[in-house]
Amino acid sequence: MSHETVYAELTDWIKRVHALGSVGELLAWDEQVNLPPGAAEQRASQLAALAGAQHAAASDPRIGAWLTALEGEAASLTADQKAVVKNARRDFDRATKLPEEFVREKAAQGSRGYHAWARAKAGDDFASYAPVLARNLELAKREAGYLDWAGREYDYMVDKHDPGMTAAVIGGLFDELKRDLVPLVKAIAASKLKPRSDALRGFPIDGQRAFLREVTQRLGFDYDRGRIDVSLHPFCTGTGSDVRMTTRFKEDEPLDSLFSAIHETGHGLYEQGLRADQLGTALGIHAGMAVHESQSRLWENQVARSRGFWRCFEPRLRELFPRQTQGVSSDELYLAINAVTPTLIRVDADEVTYNLHIILRFELEKKLFTGALAIGDLPAAWRESAEGLLGLTPPNDREGVLQDVHWSDGAFGYFPSYCLGNMLAAQLWYRALSLRPDLEKDFAGGDFTWLLGWLRENIHAQGRRFDALQLARRVTGEELSPRHLVRYLRERYGRLYGAEGEKGWVERAEG
Ligand SMILES: [Zn+2]
């Protein structure tokens, strides 16, 4: 058989495995959006049956034979084919190297872990949760061992979410970011300028829904190939021609639903921009969580918190909500959109302090994996870090170490992606601005096509040919660096809050 025939067989099979997985995603979406309350058990068994079928397909021995044949003929493969084979090998190893018994044990522990966490959080009882964390840590290390990452267990966890990334690289980037960010947050906290927390109240849900639909459509989300619904926690799933986003609505927090929707739109635009004929192969799958998050953050923050964006949409907001916006000046609105208030809770954090929440988790995770930190000492270590980074001390573990769900099912190594995504978003933003300095004027005129086209070509259409570090290098001409994020935060927030030794509202004066 020629290697072209083998390659065609492999990719057909990969696409089929991906199609099975996407059915599971659809069922999971439906569970969050539509499921009747009495159907939870039935849905769980549907999902389990499907996961079994998908795992069987993903670990089919023929894949191994195809891969071995293609790897033996690497010299005759194109660069794209090599990328596809490399990613397929990664997936195949992960599907086949974990003993079945281990996979079952981990799934059961994940479900137990979630309930133990929920109970511990409700009762502010870390001690009852500590054995679960110990077990999850042990399972994570065992998993790394099965996949030949023994001795580099935390790197394995990081690589799982962000192929090619390592704890050492992240540590270097975060140290640099921390050095500049901690003083900026302190300066903003000391600013006399305070956002009015009561500025926006009583926005009817129907109007909010209409507004965010207009906004996300204008940004480029294709509603012929996707939709938006309501769920408890906003998310985005699906890919290619069927992307499902969600948001949530609160009458007194219209910016929450809008910015959640814009964030998910960034994810959705990425998925809609993948090559539809290659879904599931390295040519038609996202490059990892950091790159995914760079897309959601770029649209949410650099674009939708800009002056240009609001020049376009503020008149429409006032038109739809004349009574609610009557007593709110343009400057007050813009400050509410760019409110910075340090908080103990990651999910409530603004985009400046958010990064410090991530650094805190990364540093603790890393120490848990090396053994430098014992699980029993975690609550105290958390308090100490929160004090040092955020200037706030959690009064209890509910607002400290127990606040996040991630570790309860062993999702270590996931947090850094959020902050790496913020870094990459800022770096991409300045590159885009250097190519098109009038980008914000485009936005003011309601035109987002240049930016989307540029991202489509340079990020979305690239699939997983390159990892986050390679993409940063290729698209921006330099290594991934926190200095662009620091520059962006200083330019937007330092100026706005007068925290850079200038008067507040400098942005307004500059028009
Ligand atoms: Zn996201």
pLDDT digits (tens, 9 = 90+) for 201-216: 999 999 999 999 999 9
Percentage helix, strand, coil for the chain under 3-state DSSP, each rounded to 5? 70, 5, 30
The pLDDT of residue 501 is 52
Q: Which residue has the higher pLDDT, 107 or 460?
A: 460
What mean pLDDT is reported for the chain? 94
Please tell me the class of the 205-343+417-510 domain: mainly alpha
Q: Are strands 236-239 and 242-247 parallel, antiparallel or unpaired?
A: antiparallel
Global pTM value:
0.95
| pLDDT above 60 for 504 | no
**CA-wise closest residue to 392 among 423, 348, 362, 336:** 348
Which sequence positions are flagged as catalytic? 264
Residue 269 Cα to ligand 1 middle (Å): 12
H-run or E-run covering 354: helix 354-370
The pLDDT of residue 275 is 94
The pLDDT of residue 500 is 61
Per the document, the length of the chain is 511
SS3 396: coil
Domain-by-domain residue ranges, the chain? 3-149, 167-194+345-416, 205-343+417-510
Residue 308 Cα to ligand 1 middle (Å): 23
In degrees, rounded to 5, the angle at the alpha carbon of residue 177 between the alpha carbons of residues 176 and 183 is: 110
- How far, in Å, CA of 116 to CA of 405, rounded? 10
Chain position carrying tokens 């490059």:
287
State the DSSP code for 372: S
Residue 54 Cα to ligand 1 middle (Å): 25
Tokens of 25: 């995603």
**CA-wise closest residue to 286 among 52, 465, 58:** 465
- Bridge partners (DSSP) listed for residue 284: 279
Does residue 281 contact residue 300 with C-beta atoms inside 8 Å? Answer: no
**Per-residue model confidence as pLDDT tens digits over 132-187:** 999 999 999 999 999 999 999 999 999 999 999 999 999 999 999 999 999 999 99
Residue 114 Cα to ligand 1 middle (Å): 21
- What are the φ/ψ torsions at residue 131 (nearest 5 degrees)? -65, -35
- How far, in Å, CA of 207 to CA of 41, rounded? 36
Residue 474 Cα to ligand 1 middle (Å): 23
| Sign of the CA dihedral running 202, 192, 403, 270 | positive
| pLDDT above 90 for 425 | yes
